[in-house]
Structure 1
Amino acid sequence: MKVYFAAPMFAKSELIYNSYLVEKIRQKYPKFAVYLPQENDAINDKTAYADSKMIALADTKKVEESQLMIALLDGITIDNGVASEIGIAYANNIPILGLYTDSRQQGADNQQKLDALTTVAENQFHYLNLYTVGLIKLNGNIFSSEEALLTGINDFVAQGKLK
């Protein structure tokens, strides 16, 4: 199965985390061909040159060839490139499994946190763009931990559908 791993990839911490998580997926699912864009030096060696069309064409081709997308949603906002890749996957009816680990989502049943929503600038929760989230949920699911994501991948493989 071809899997596209969509993730931000410009800070060293992002590169390390992407490699770590992809390695976990590759170990658990050795038959998966996981495409991690940061490993494609033809377009992502930042000491070399690739123009916008080269990058767009190369990554779009890999998205369109995939049977599953895994998308990391963490950050101040969903990474622009990841959001674009999600749109391409949705348009091609490719299932998408999102990972959103932001700790501010905890405590959704805490009344003080809920009450704070009515006070200006006291939102205790993080916001994700609902359009992008909707594209994922229309053809996939979002998980809040690596463990839950790996279980979601397992369900996808075992049942051929998402839960």
Structure 2
Amino acid sequence: MSIYVAHRLFAAHDRALAAALAERLAAKVGTERVFLPFCDTDEEDLVAEVKGRRLFELDRERLGRLDAMIALLHGPSLDDGVCMEIGYAAASGIPVLLLTTDFQTYSLTEDGALLDFPDPLIQAVANRIIRVPRLGPPSSSQQQGATHYAEFLSRNLSQVRAALDTAVEAALELPAPGPRSTPHSENSLVYVEASPYTASGHDHLARACRDAGHQVALPRRFTATDPIADALHDLTTACGASRLLADVSGPETPPGTALLIGAALASGVRIGAFHPRPTYTHASGREPNWRNLMIQYAVHAHLDGMEAVQAWLAT
């Protein structure tokens, strides 16, 4: 059983949490059957001509030979690289387990159905979700001189240990990989995914597609009475389209959009990322990236304005 640990990896505490999970998994299935990005790609010390692209290639190569994925997702702002990896795995028929210690749930309207994550697509593709939202129990005895902060730390660490142990046991019970999603057909359908972080919505992108002679599909999950069912419809539609035109604007690529990008890549769909006002990230030895490298190198075109969109649609 080969298991991929998808995790946010920019801060030490995120990497430490993922490493604790990987260590527990390795004790069950062997070190050679666990893949931990950053650690197993030697990201800090890797030297490559285009380091970001090389890291993407290493991660994608491992995504292509998995038996299962565990993804760590915490809080309302979900890592777009992790969401892309979830989408790639789901479209490849790989069972996905999601682990969260978030104490919040989400809904698309004030009194709408409660969701485990802000975008119903994340929940829709999961084979299993492990939620451990509460602190561990208070300790029965407190060390002399210890502050209430030490007690609070102990209860948080207890919560983390319980979450990791539960996830490992659940991962070992995941089903075998299933069939890949049906490859896209050669058609004129463009699936258009807007960004919730912009006021323009999807009208301008959909109009450009229609003006270029393409059919257009738009997401249904955000206005659906059954957001999970319609999220799966969105996923199927995007993976069966000829192109995915995704607005990736925002602090990070929106989580559902990132998932669709991963799924589209696994399904052979051409992907254009509309991002007219990028900001860049920088890391030692790595080229500047205008989005998370798992997004930047997954897409086939960076579209920095409507003229670029029109040119891409014409090819």
TM over 0.5: yes
Q: Is the radius of gyration larger for structure 1 or structure 2?
A: 2
| CA distance in 1 between partners of 2:124 and 2:117 (Å) | 13
| CA distance in 2 between partners of 1:68 and 1:126 (Å) | 20
| CA distance in 1 between partners of 2:100 and 2:70 (Å) | 11
Aligned residue number for residue 28 of structure 1:
28
**Sequence identity percentage:** 24
**Which whole-Å deviations, capped at 9, do the CAs of 1:13-72 have from their partners, x for residues lacking one?**
111111111111111333761000121345x21685653322222111111111111111
1:33-112 alignment runs, 5 A limit:
33-42=33-42, 44-45=43-44, 50-105=50-105
* Conserved 8 A contact 1:70-1:97: yes
Of the three residues 122, 137, 152, the one matched with 2:170 is 152
The structure-2 alpha-carbon separation of the partners of 1:46 and 1:83, relative to structure 1 and needing over 3 Å to count, comes to farther
| CA distance in 2 between partners of 1:70 and 1:25 (Å) | 10
Aligned residue number for residue 203 of structure 2:
none
Aligned residue number for residue 216 of structure 2:
none
* Conserved 8 A contact 1:5-1:71: yes
Aligned residue number for residue 205 of structure 2:
none
Task: Give the superposition deviation at 1:8.
Answer: 0.4
Aligned-residue RMSD, C-alpha? 2.8
| CA distance in 2 between partners of 1:31 and 1:48 (Å) | 24
The structure-2 alpha-carbon separation of the partners of 1:142 and 1:127, relative to structure 1 and needing over 3 Å to count, comes to closer
**Which whole-Å deviations, capped at 9, do the CAs of 1:63-110 have from their partners, x for residues lacking one?**
1111111111114422111001011101111111110111235xxxxx
| CA distance in 1 between partners of 2:116 and 2:94 (Å) | 27
* Conserved 8 A contact 2:75-2:104: no
SS at 2:21's partner residue? helix
Of the three residues 120, 130, 134, the one matched with 1:130 is 120
125-134 or 63-72, which deviates more: 125-134
Question: TM-score w.r.t. structure 2 length?
Answer: 0.39
| CA distance in 1 between partners of 2:35 and 2:71 (Å) | 12
Aligned residue number for residue 18 of structure 1:
18
Task: Give the superposition deviation at 1:151.
Answer: 2.7
Aligned residue number for residue 159 of structure 2:
none
Could you tell me which runs of 5 or more consecutive residues in structure 1 were left unpaired when the two chains were aligned.
Answer: 106-116, 119-124
Could you list the runs of 4 or more consecutive aligned residues of structure 1 that deviate by over 3 angstroms after TM superposition? 46-52
| CA distance in 1 between partners of 2:40 and 2:29 (Å) | 21
More helix by share: 1
Question: TM-score w.r.t. structure 1 length?
Answer: 0.72
* Conserved 8 A contact 2:21-2:168: no
| CA distance in 2 between partners of 1:39 and 1:153 (Å) | 20
* Conserved 8 A contact 1:37-1:59: yes
| CA distance in 2 between partners of 1:65 and 1:41 (Å) | 16
The structure-2 alpha-carbon separation of the partners of 1:134 and 1:62, relative to structure 1 and needing over 3 Å to count, comes to same
| CA distance in 2 between partners of 1:152 and 1:127 (Å) | 19
